[in-house]
Structures are given as C-alpha cells and as structure tokens.
C-alpha cells in the first residue's frame, strides 16, 4: 500500500510527464528559421491588379493615399462580408484575432478560407492563445493545408488547461499580456477592422447572448498599412507555428469525429442555397458599385508586439490624446469596457468645461459580460453624470434577435467606436480602459470623412435612444428609459437581482489596472 509521501511522488511524476507530453515553446528565438515549419512565405503582387481593387481602380489610382470606407453594423452581415471577401480573394488572406471558437460561424468562414486555399490563395491566421477556444485539432487541420499557415500568439507552455493556473502565477508578467488585435485583410487591398472576434456570438448566431459591435470595411492604402502591421506580429518570436503543438492525439480525435463536425455545418440544401445566394448578391452589389463608399484619409495605428514583453509607449494612446485635445464640439463614445481612471476623468472634465458635448454608451450591469469591469466603471459613472456628460447604459433586452426560429436571450455591447466633432471616426479593438492602454496590444483605424462620421454618429444615437439614460434627480443618479410606451425610472441597476448587485459590490476589490 502506498504511503502519503509515495502518493505525492507518483502525482508529481505524473504531472511532470503530462507537462512534458503536452508542452509547447513560448518563443522561436532559439529555433532556426530554416525549420520547415517556417516555410510560409507570402508572394509579392500588386494589390491594384486584383478583382477586389479593379471595381474602384479609378479612385484608388487617382487618390493613392486615400481609402474608401463602409460601416458594418449587423452581425450576420459582418460574417457575410468576410465570407464574400474570402470567396473573391485571389492572392492572400491575413486574419488576426483575439478569440477563435470552433463553432458554426467559424466553420462556415473557415470553409470559405479552405476553398480559397484550394484556389491557390495564401492564407495566414494568427490567434492569441488566451482566446483559442478549441481542442486545436481544427487549427492543426487548417495548418496542414499547403496554402494555410496558422500561428498562436504568446502561448501558454502547458496545453492542459488545469495546469495553466500555476503557469499564470510564475510567469504572470508575460501571460497577462495578450494580443487583442482584430484584422481581416484580403489581397492587401480590403480590410475589415473593429471589435469582432471569430465566434458565433459576434455574428448574431448564438441563442444565448450576442455582441452588438461595429466594424468598418476599408479599401485602399489603410489595408496595406494593416498588412504591414500583421507582418510585424506574424514574424515576432512569440508567434508560434501550430506545427509545434503536440498534435497526434488531437488529430486522431478530430478525424474520429470528423463526420460529426461536418454534419454541424452541412445544414439542409435549402440553407446552403440561401447562403450562396446571399454571397452571390453581395458580390454582385460590390462589383456593380451598389454600396455607398465614403472616401477620405485613413490611418492604421497599432501597438508593437513588443508590448507583451516590455513597457513601450502606446501610439494609440498618443493619437487619442491628440485628437481628443483638438476636439471642440462633440465626442460620441461607444465603449463596451469603459474605465477612464482618474487621469481619463480629468480629460472628460476639461472637455466639458470648454463646452464639448460628451455622450457615452457602455454596458449596463445586466448586459455586461465582464462584471468586474462594470464594478470599476461604477467608480466613475456618477461623477461623469454630475459633470454634465450624457451617459447611457446598454439594455440587454434590446439585443434579442431571431435565430433558427428562436429568440436569443439578449445582447452585450462590444463596440469600441468614437466620433470626434462629426468629422473623425475611430474604430478598432481599443477599449477605454487601462488594460488596453498598458497591457494588451491593440489596433485602431482613424478615418477623416465628415459624412461617414455623421452616419456613424447617427447609428450610435439610435442605440443611445434605446438604452438607459442616467440622469441626475435631487443630486442622485437614476436610470431613465422607455418600456413599452412609458418612461420609467429605476433607482438601482435595471434588470438585475439583488444577488448580482451584491457580487458587483464585492467585485470592487479587484485592482482596476488589471481587469
């Protein structure tokens, strides 16, 4: 019979074996670039000679330093937009994402990616390891295609999830820093940028909670800037080819259940007919210039991937300060995770004192998917209202949509959009909080076009009108909203139980700079 000491030794040996059999390198610095796993070179080509560019070739040649833009608000349309661009691709597709889930929307999109690869399109996919929600077999299968390369960014060494907690403890400074960037680049000429990751709930395909978000489709120079930023991350030593993953058991399991995975996306012939008609219609509208495209100066601003290793100034924060200080009329903000901090609060106070109208839409306690973030936001919420800012909180119930004949349970705001003075639109992955500023890497696009800015602001105002408006009554902040045909007031966070409000209260113990 084993003694307690012997049992401990056996457990330690077993854990050692598990770690050894399920580990991955966290840097390629010591790996020769001649290793076959790095054979994913991209081809050089002129983006203007692609079918996507030819539709607007006159504008692209006449104004080479400008870009065309179109706003993407609806989640299902956001998926259709990506899938259609993948079907139109001729040379390359680069995808950078924080979250990737092996679910229906992702499989549909990867189906288009796979078909593009079969046509000879070179594809690179970069996923942050913290957001890789799969058993890895699907990304390994994608990587096995000769025209598809997949890498994971800043990986946990341990591939067994329950062993990640101790790794977070002893390597916290690295593990805590994540790549939050989201880019979808096709033929180095078309770009989709915004807050959406690759998963069902970002494309209105989840029966539980979907994310209300904003993307912008860009055409032109800014897409080439995005391509260069992507390349910087792709070649960074913390971007690890998935070929280094311990893959044999995962692939056996994947192939064993392959028919089940395929069945999940097969659907009925009628479903596929509707899907293909939607893509054909999208491509027809694009090729026949049926969409309204706004032209103007666009700039991509991205953190360096080195931010995950050392303290470097964020060009995004510097750009935000510059645009903020030059704004005089109005600033409209839609930010899912909004924690301005004491320093940010001073910026709001100075702007309001000089007569700038400030309007803010963020999540309510009932709609947020990050309760600790809401508890931090509460420290500034009432102060902003008392300063004179127009503060709105998103209603979870406003996001109910019909999916496969059923109603979803609601939505959570996920947008990261700002409109300055009805002229400049800011969109990307950057939340107005300390994590985006100091910890994660982020990317945004800044677009200078007055008509586009007004259109974006109009969409924000529609959402604000449907949200809870926080107003001051007898020096107390209350929630005012429309329910049915009536205006109602709430003295505490609407649509929440006392238990949720209690948890929210205790969540204030978390350090604001780390949430």
pLDDT in tens, 158-189: 877 777 888 888 899 999 999 999 999 999 99
Token pair belonging to 346: 């001073």
Token pair belonging to 432: 């107005």
Count CA within 13 A, CB hemisphere, residue 143.
25
Q: Are residues 278 and 367 in the same domain?
A: no
In a domain, 87, yes or no: yes
Q: Please say whether the beta carbons of 445 and 320 come within 8 A.
A: no
Three-state SS at 91: coil
In a domain, 19, yes or no: no
Q: Which of 404, 378, 399, 373 is nearest to 470 (CA)?
A: 378
Q: Are residues 382 and 245 in the same domain?
A: no
Count CA within 13 A, CB hemisphere, residue 390.
15
Three-state SS at 406: strand
Q: Please say whether the beta carbons of 356 and 448 come within 8 A.
A: no
DSSP state of 333: E
Query: How many whole angstroms separate alpha carbon 319 and alpha carbon 124?
Result: 29
Query: How many whole angstroms separate alpha carbon 392 and alpha carbon 377?
Result: 12
Q: Are residues 90 and 217 in the same domain?
A: yes
pLDDT at residue 322 in the model: 96
In a domain, 3, yes or no: no
Residue keyed to tokens 């329910």: 483
pLDDT at residue 16 in the model: 39
* Structural domain total, the chain: 2
Query: Which of 245, 269, 287 is the C-terminal boundary of a domain?
Result: 287
Q: Are residues 331 and 385 in the same domain?
A: yes
Burial class of residue 489, CB neighbours in 10 A (0-12, 13-18, 19+):
exposed
Strand partners, 122: 92
Q: Please say whether the beta carbons of 225 and 206 come within 8 A.
A: no
In a domain, 363, yes or no: yes
Q: How far is CA 448 from the centre of its chain?
A: 22
Q: Are residues 226 and 373 in the same domain?
A: no
Q: Which of 136, 166, 384, 358 is nearest to 241 (CA)?
A: 136
Range of the domain at 487: 315-514
Q: Are residues 257 and 328 in the same domain?
A: no
Query: How many whole angstroms separate alpha carbon 464 and alpha carbon 445?
Result: 23
Three-state SS at 416: strand
Token pair belonging to 483: 């329910």
In a domain, 455, yes or no: yes
In a domain, 22, yes or no: no
Could you write out the DSSP letters of every residue in 400-455? --EETTEE--EEEE--EEEEETTTEEEEES--SSHIIIIISB-EEEEEE-HHHHHH
Q: Are residues 411 and 453 in the same domain?
A: yes
Q: Are residues 272 and 320 in the same domain?
A: no
Q: Are residues 341 and 278 in the same domain?
A: no
Token pair belonging to 469: 């408006």
State pTM to two decimals.
0.91
Q: Which residues of the chain have pLDDT under 70?
A: 1-22, 34, 36-38, 40-41, 135, 247-268, 399-409
Q: How far is CA 178 from the centre of its chain?
A: 12
Query: Which of 244, 269, 287 is the C-terminal boundary of a domain?
Result: 287
Three-state SS at 58: helix
Q: Are residues 138 and 200 in the same domain?
A: yes
Token pair belonging to 36: 């076959």
Strand partners, 476: 473
Q: Please say whether the beta carbons of 238 and 153 come within 8 A.
A: yes
Query: How many whole angstroms separate alpha carbon 253 and alpha carbon 258?
Result: 8
Query: How many whole angstroms separate alpha carbon 213 and alpha carbon 428?
Result: 10
Three-state SS at 398: helix
DSSP state of 23: B
Pairing of strands 424-428, 443-448: antiparallel
The H or E element containing residue 488 is strand 486-490
pLDDT at residue 13 in the model: 38
In a domain, 294, yes or no: no
Q: Are residues 214 and 334 in the same domain?
A: no
Q: Are residues 275 and 333 in the same domain?
A: no
**CATH for 363:** 3.30.870.10
Strand partners, 441: 179
Token pair belonging to 182: 């989201």
pLDDT at residue 14 in the model: 38
Indicate the angle between helix axes 269-287 and 75-88, nearest 10 degrees.
Answer: 70
Residue keyed to tokens 């600790």: 372
In a domain, 108, yes or no: yes
| Residues 6 or more apart in contact with residue 19 via CB below 8 angstroms | 158, 160, 163
């Amino acid at each position: 019979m084993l003694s307690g000491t012997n049992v401990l030794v056996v457990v330690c040996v077993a854990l050692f074996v598990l770690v050894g059999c399920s580990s991955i390198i966290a840097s390629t610095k010591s790996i020769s670039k001649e290793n076959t796993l790095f054979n994913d070179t991209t081809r050089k080509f002129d983006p203007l000679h692609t079918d996507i560019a030819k539709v607007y070739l006159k504008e692209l040649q006449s104004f080479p330093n400008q870009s065309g833009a179109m706003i993407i608000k609806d989640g299902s349309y956001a998926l259709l937009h990506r899938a259609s661009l993948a079907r139109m691709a001729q040379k390359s597709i680069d995808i950078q994402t924080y979250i990737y889930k092996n679910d229906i929307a992702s499989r549909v999109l990867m189906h288009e990616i796979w078909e593009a690869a079969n046509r000879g399109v070179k594809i690179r996919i970069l996923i942050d390891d913290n957001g890789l929600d799969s058993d890895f077999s699907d990304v390994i299968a994608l990587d096995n295609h000769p025209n598809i390369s997949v890498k994971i960014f800043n990986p946990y060494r341990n591939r067994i999830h329950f062993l990640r907690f101790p790794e977070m403890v002893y390597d916290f400074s690295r593990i805590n820093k994540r790549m939050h960037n989201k880019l979808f680049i096709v033929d180095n000429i078309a770009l989709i940028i915004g807050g959406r990751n690759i998963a069902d709930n970002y494309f209105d395909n989840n029966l539980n909670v979907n994310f209300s978000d904003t993307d912008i489709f860009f055409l032109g120079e800014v897409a080439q800037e995005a391509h260069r930023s992507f390349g910087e991350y792709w070649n960074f030593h913390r971007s690890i080819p998935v070929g280094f993953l311990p893959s044999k058991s995962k692939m056996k399991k994947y192939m064993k259940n392959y028919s089940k995975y395929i069945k999940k996306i097969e659907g009925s012939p009628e479903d596929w007919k509707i899907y293909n008609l939607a893509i054909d219609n999208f491509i027809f509208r694009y090729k026949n210039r049926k969409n309204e495209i706004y032209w103007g100066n666009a700039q991509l601003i991205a953190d360096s991937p080195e931010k995950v290793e050392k303290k470097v100034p964020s060009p995004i924060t510097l750009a935000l300060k510059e645009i903020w200080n030059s704004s005089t009329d109005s600033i409209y903000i839609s930010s899912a995770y909004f924690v301005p901090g004491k320093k940010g609060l001073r910026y709001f106070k100075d702007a309001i004192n000089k007569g700038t109208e400030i309007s803010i839409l963020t999540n309510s306690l009932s709609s947020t998917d990050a309760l600790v973030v809401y508890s931090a936001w509460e420290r500034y919420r009432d102060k902003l209202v008392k300063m004179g800012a127009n503060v709105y909180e998103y209603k979870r119930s406003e996001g109910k949509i019909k999916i496969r004949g059923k109603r979803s349970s609601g939505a959570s705001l996920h947008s990261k959009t700002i409109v300055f003075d009805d002229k400049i639109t800011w969109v990307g992955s950057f939340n107005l909080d300390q994590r985006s500023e100091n910890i994660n890497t982020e990317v945004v696009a800044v677009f200078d076009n007055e008509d586009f800015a007004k259109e974006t602001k109009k969409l924000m105002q529609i959402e604000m009108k449907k949200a809870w408006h926080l107003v001051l009554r007898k020096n107390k902040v209350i929630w005012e909203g429309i329910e049915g045909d009536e205006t109602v007031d709430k003295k505490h966070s609407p649509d929440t139980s006392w238990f949720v409000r209690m948890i929210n209260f205790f969540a204030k113990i978390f350090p604001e700079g780390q949430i």
